[in-house]
Amino acid sequence: MSMIEFRKEFFRDERDDNLNEIGKPTRRQDILGHVTGRSPFYDDHLFEGLLHIRCARSPHHHARIRRIDVSEAERSEGVVRVLTGKDVPRNLNTLLSLLDFGLDDEPLLAETKCAYKGEPVAAVIATSEAAARAAVKKVRVDWDVLPHVLDVEEAIRPGAPTVCEVYPGNKFVYHGKYDHQKLRYGDVEAAFRQADHIVEGRYQMSPIEQAPMETCGAIAAPEVNDRYVCYTGTQALFFSLGTAAKVLSMPSSRLHFVGGTVGGGFGGKVDSIHEPIAILGAMLTGKPCKFAWDREEEMQVGAPRGAERWYLKDGVMKDGRIIARQFTGYFDSGAYTRLSSYAIIKGVGHLPGPYTIPNVSANVYCVYTNRTPATAMRGFGITGVDFAIEAHMDKGAEAVGMNPIEFRILNAYRDGDMKAHRREAKNCALVECCQVVAEKAGVRLSGEAAAAASTKGGGGERGRLPAHTVTDQDGRVEGIDTGGYARKGGGASVSVPTPPRPAAPQYQSAPTPAPQQAAPTPAPPPAPDAARKGALRFSSLSGFRRR
């Protein structure tokens, strides 16, 4: 039914295939444990007297907490202790603070308000899961319900409810300067004016649950020598350890994390919520504590792949060349940042997809809404925009009446081309993938598309930076510094001097019908702008850098 083949003939001269172990279909080291049911997942560590933790959660999308009363829950049968935000030594964190990126914006247990349905306000520790469940219902919260906002574009309109007070405009602040991440490469507006076709689209990527078969969780227990051991299903051992050390104000040397055999993750096990709560429980009760989500929590309060909304606009010539592409993107971060701000930078670095387009522009916003915070998932920062790009490419091909595969090959990036983030493309293989699929599906390609190669036709004019890039100060934000990570100039704002503007490049279609011979290159841009500050040199480590 299904099959797999290894097409060794491609790029053969770039590989030495005579290796002893690499390239062999060696069985998995862990397979015997898997088929005998003995692989030790975090919950396969048994503790006498294990206590169970379960959270009381907000029933509202957005509500201020007037008072939390845990007295009845504390008297409930089997309850050992009830934790609230006051018990957390440092009850405000942002996951990426370990990378010095973003401001602490999210409590482990909410104290003053909840910004999404399901946000935890208290953690009940009891002798059984059933006792914990029963006691959770007895946590009384006096709520002051607030207006909420769920749509990304509504959230950024003036007057929208503030989801997260750290970011009053409901937008993450990039580089301490803008309410979105910009990509500016060439002059899209000038190119749109010259394009034969304008293709526009709006795309919506849905929120998705990672749905690992093992739900998220951790067990913590007091260990000898005044340390705590934590068995965890985390995807990132030291990330979780570092987060726990921070929110518990505890030196990492007092923490012993054990994991590494995890029942699937797909991005859903990096948020490091279970480890600090389980350890805090072990600290305050002196007993082993387990904090795990049930499947319902996994699906509704476990952070999903966030929704994304993308608007795309292409300028396409009759011969199929895309000369300009513009993106506006909204990542739905939910109530807190978690990793969405970072996903956007990754997504922006990926634009405009695997194509060489001489004019590209993007504004991408990390937007706060009153829903479960988003986090990583397989394809983080890329899956949603790839859906948008490739659905859009289909429309572009249709607009110019081209075979969709030939349209991709014509515009595909090749070795030596300049990418919109201003680094040279290397190690490309899109063209070959397109050709192999066409061959397998019996789609006949034109001679030119069939003869194309990632190693041919790139670089040269295609490898030069645009003569002129239009920049702007739109979305300027004052007074918020979101950390030094990825910050140019180590924290100081740098404004780019505007060079004198040269003549805009001229784009012309090749004669119709779409030619067999026309080189798949955009019209050569004028000579690089002499006024540009600083020469470029190439560094094998970091690509081009301004000297």
Partner 1 sequence: MAKKPVTFTLNGRESAAFAEEGQNLLDFLRRSVGDLSPKYGCGQGGCGGCTVLIDGEPHLSCLTLAEAAAGRKVETASGLATGPVLHRLQEAFMERFAAQCGFCTPGMLVSAKALLDRNPRPTREEVIEALSGNLCRCTGYEPIIEAVLDAAGERARA
Partner 2 sequence: MALHRGRGFAAINYPIGMNLGGDPSQALVHSNPDGKFTVALSAIDLGQGMKSVTRQIAAETLGVPVEDVYVDTADSDTGPHDMGSFASRGTHRVGNAVMRAAEEARAVMLEAAAEELEVDAADLVTDGKGNIHVKGAPSRSITTMAAAQAAQFRQGRTIAGRGIFLIPLSEVDAETGEMTPVSTFAHAAMIVEVEVDDETGEVSVLDVKSAYEVGRALNPKLVEQQLRGGAWMGMSHAAWETTEPYYPARDHGPVDFNHYLMPGMGDLAPHHISVLERPAADGPFGGKGPGEMCANPVLPAVVNAVYEAVGVRIDDLPVTPEKVLRGLRAQGGAKPKKRL
Beta strands in 317-387, from DSSP E residues, in sequence order: 322-334, 360-368
Phi/psi class of residue 361: alpha, beta or left (left: φ > 0; alpha: ψ in -120 to 50)? beta
> Residue 95 forms beta bridges with which residues?
none
Verify binding: residue 177, partner 2, rule CB under 8 A: yes
Q: Which residue of 91, 162, 285, 300 would you call a contact of partner 2, by CB under 8 A?
A: 300
C-beta closer to partner 1: residue 261 or 446: 261
Q: Is 137 in the site for partner 1 (CB under 8 A)?
A: no
285-319 burial: b if 16+ Cβ within 10 Å, else e = bebbbbbbbeeebbebbbbbbbbbbbbbbbbbbbb
Choice from 398, 481, 531, 533 touching partner 2 (CB under 8 A): 398
Cβ within 8 Å of residue 2, ≥6 positions away? none
CA torsion, ordered 472, 473, 475, 476, to nearest 10 deg: 160
- Binding status of residue 342 toward partner 2 by CB under 8 A: yes
- Is 313 a binding residue for partner 2 by CB under 8 A? The answer is no
Euclidean distance between CA atoms 353 and 412, whole angstroms: 9
225 binds, options partner 2, partner 1, none, Cβ within 5 to 8 A by partner type? none
Q: How far is the CB of 109 from partner 2 (least distance, A)?
A: 22
Q: Which option in partner 1, partner 2, none does residue 215 bind, with CB closer than 5 to 8 A by kind? A: partner 1
Looking at 194, 235, 243, 356, which residue binds partner 2 (CB under 8 A)? 235
**269 φ, ψ (degrees, to nearest 5):** -120, 40
Query: Which tokens go with 190?
Result: 């000038």
Nearest distance in Å: CB 259, partner 1 = 13
Closest approach, Cβ 211 to partner 1, in A, equals 6
Task: Report whether 162 contacts 170 (CB < 8 A).
Answer: yes
Q: Which stretch binds partner 1 (CB under 8 A): 55-63, 163-171, 210-218, 239-247?
A: 210-218
Q: Which of residues 35-74 bind partner 1 (CB under 8 A)?
A: 35-39, 41, 43-44, 46, 50
Helix (H, G, I), strand (E, B) or coil at 448: helix
The site for partner 2, by CB under 8 A, has a size of 146
Residue 24 is a binding residue for partner 1 (CB under 8 A):
no
Q: Which residues pair with 546 in a beta bridge?
A: 536
For the chain, what is the largest distance between any 2 Cα atoms, rounded to a whole number of angstroms? 83
* CA dist., res. 489 & res. 498, Å (int): 18
Q: Which of 427, 479, 503, 547 binds partner 2 (CB under 8 A)?
A: 427
- In sequence order, which residues have a C-beta less than 8 Å from that of residue 523 and are 6 or more positions away? 505, 506, 507, 508
Residue 114, C-beta contacts closer than 8 angstroms, at least 6 positions apart = 58, 60, 62, 63, 65, 121
User: Using the rule CB under 8 A, is 371 a contact of partner 2?
Assistant: yes
The answer to whether 541 contacts partner 2 (rule: CB under 8 A) is: yes
Residue 2: CB minimum distance to partner 1, A: 5
Instruction: Give the count of beta carbons closer than 10 Å to the beta carbon of residue 71.
Output: 10
State how far the Cα of 511 lies from the Cα of 110, in Å rounded to an integer.
64
Tell me which of partner 2, partner 1, none is bound by residue 35, counting a contact when its beta carbon lies within the kind-specific cut-off of 5 to 8 angstroms. Answer: partner 1
By CB under 8 A, is residue 501 in contact with partner 2?
no
Look at residues 142, 53, 57 and name the one whose alpha carbon lies nearest to residue 372: 57
Among 54, 57, 60, 61, binds partner 2 (CB under 8 A): 61
Identify residues 74-133 at the interface with partner 1 (CB under 8 A): 128, 130
Binding partner 1 by CB under 8 A: which of 12, 24, 28, 86? 28
Smallest Cα–Cα separation from 259: which of 248, 246, 275?
A: 275
Choose from partner 1, partner 2, none: what does 371 bind? Cβ within 5-8 Å by kind.
partner 2
CB of 80 to partner 1, least distance (A): 16
- Minimal distance in Å, beta carbon 67 to partner 2? 26
Contact residues for 167 (Cβ-Cβ < 8 A; gap 6+): 103, 105, 173, 337, 368, 480
Residue 344's Cβ-count burial label (10 Å; 0-12, 13-18, 19+) is: buried
Pick one of partner 2, partner 1, none as the site partner of residue 488 (Cβ within 5 to 8 A by kind). Answer: partner 2
Q: Does 390 bind partner 2 (CB under 8 A)?
A: yes
Closer residue to partner 1 in complex, CB, 2/540 = 2
Q: Which of residues 361-420 bind partner 1 (CB under 8 A)?
A: none
Q: Does 34 bind partner 1 (CB under 8 A)?
A: yes
Q: Least distance (Å) from partner 2 to the CB of residue 299?
A: 6
Interaction mask 293-312, partner 1, x per CB under 8 A = -xxx----------------
Contacting range for partner 2; rule: CB under 8 A; set: 120-128, 159-167, 190-198, 402-410 = 402-410
Residue closer to partner 1 (CB basis): 235 or 372: 235
- Residue 538's binding partner among partner 1, partner 2, none (Cβ under 5 to 8 angstroms by kind) is none
Residues in touch with partner 1 (CB under 8 A): 1-2, 27-28, 30-39, 41, 43-44, 46, 50, 128, 130, 211-215, 261-264, 266, 294-296
